[in-house]
Amino acid sequence: MNLPDDFITKYRRLLGAEADDFLASFDTPSTAGYRVNPAHHDLPATVTETPAVPYAKFGHYGAVSGRSLMHQSGAVYSQEPSAMFVGATAAPQAGERVLDLCAAPGGKTTHLASYLRGTGLLVTNEINRKRVKVLAENVERFGVKSAVILNDSPDRLSPVFPDYFDKVLVDAPCSGEGMFRKDPDAMSYWSLDYVEDCATRQREILTEAVKMVKPGGQLIYSTCTFAPEEDEQMMAWVLKTFPDFHLVPITKTGGVVDARPEWADGNPELAKAARLFPHLMQGEGHFVAKLERDAGDARTPRGQAKLGTELTSDQRKLWQDFAQTVLGHAVAGQLITVKDQLFAVPDDLPDLKKAHIFRPGLHLGTFKKNRFEPAYALALASADEPATQTLAITDEQWRAWVHGETFTLATAPTKGWYLLTCDQQPVGFGKVVGQTVKNFFPKGLRFTVYDD
């Protein structure tokens, strides 16, 4: 790999005798990985028995196809192994309030959701409008139930959520040095000046992020760069600028090593953070630090969220009839409509009228004239609470389904909506009319499955 000359010179100076092994690692293959969704059960051995990533709960080494049943159903999520260390370091507890501030494309958000298991609150935010759409698709496919998706800047969010979250994750936009091997195009815009520009932006983000951590809460900071300016030096700046925060030791296994205080101001506390180097482990380059805020009094966000409109009596009856007949269980959260769309919104949100809301909660479906049409997101969120009205389909029928085709059954069950499952995984809702299953797989997500 033709690394930038300034990059080689910089890391030969910083790493000394270790530099040869570090630079040689860029010419070795990158390692693929994926996480298993804990809401899904009865997964095949080919998914669950591959080597585990030692530092990441739910993580495995290996590649998964984006055109596979396991991927489409949300049973697995493809993620680079080093990136899994970030979510594993945050490891939120059930019931906690969690913010993923720079969340697209959604790998770390879905990892956080695996710990929360539908409890608490997960606010996931992405400032870029195009990237927030990708984030929403991945949150939906993973079946996340308790997430609110925002499309905002940190300075607009900090007044909305003062002292609010148990965990705030800042996976900061960075110079991307740790991804050179996986994404060589990242080298095209890298420069020493670009590193400084990234560090400036990271300080701006962190200045707002710390305001949203409740007293006693934690801020997890991560980058996918080796640059000390964005890593150890950034944490040294935080410790000096925000004295009510201190670093918490991170458990390091599988080749993860201490951060390097000598690359900043020499403060030995910086060694509590973690570095992931590709020449020391199976994975790309990352830096992760865990900061904790001192205990104290918290400000209380004002007001309650009003994110939509209450259901009419007709809408409530349509929803209840569907929920009782097809799901067989209630859905947690406050039910609201946004135009004709029905959502389940997490409880006890503050007033979000000054935030740009991309999705207020779990999308349940659409009200149409005298009928209710369930959402794809609701189907994929049903893995751990199986519906009462389900229809098991074959692999061949699943291939037709994701391609947008209807298919015919050998016998005609009772007409109506069914949660379709294949290999015991939920894949969407279908409407049975006679012996035909009408296709409601989202048009923008349809694909063709090719045999290996």
Q: Binding site for S-adenosyl-L-methionine: what residues are annotated?
A: 102-108, 126, 152, 171
User: Which of 174, 198, 224, 422 is an active site residue?
Assistant: 224
- Which ranges constitute the DSSP H helices of 160-312? 192-209, 232-241
Q: What is the DSSP letter of 389?
A: S
Q: Give SS3 for 359.
A: strand
Q: Which residue has the tokens 């966000």?
A: 301
**Cβ–Cβ contacts within 10 Å for residue 282, how many?**
18
* Distant-in-sequence, close-in-space partners of 70: CB < 8 Å, separation ≥ 6: 43, 44, 47, 64, 76, 425
Cβ atoms of 308 and 345 closer than 8 Å: yes
224 is catalytic: yes
Q: What is the C-alpha separation between 377 and 429, in angstroms, rounded?
A: 10
3-state secondary structure at position 265: coil
Cβ contact 38:114 at 8 Å: yes
Query: Residue 419 in contact with residue 382, Cβ under 8 Å?
Result: yes
Cα(451)–Cα(215) distance, integer angstroms:
53
Residues 6+ apart with CB under 8 A from 428: 376, 379, 380, 401, 419, 420, 440, 441
| Contacts of 1 by beta carbon, 8 Å cutoff, 6+ apart | 26, 27, 180, 181, 184
Kindly give, in sequence order, each residue whose CB lies less than 8 Å from that of residue 243, ignoring residues fewer than 6 positions away.
Answer: none
**Of 449, 445, 408, nearest to 430 (Cα)?**
408
Output phi, psi for 138, to 5 deg.
Answer: -75, -35
Both structure tokens of 396: 């061949």
State how far the Cα of 130 lies from the Cα of 135, in Å rounded to an integer. 9
Q: CB-based burial of residue 292 (10 Å sphere; 0-12 exposed, 13-18 middle, 19+ buried)? A: middle
Annotated binding site: 102-108, 126, 152, 171
Q: Are strands 416-422 and 407-408 parallel, antiparallel or unpaired?
A: unpaired
Tell me if residue 294 falls in helix, strand or coil. coil
- Identity (one letter) of the amino acid at 307? L
Element (H, E) at 386: none
Burial of 137 from C-beta contacts in 10 A (0-12 / 13-18 / 19+): middle
- Position 186: which residue type? A
Q: Catalytic positions, please? A: 224
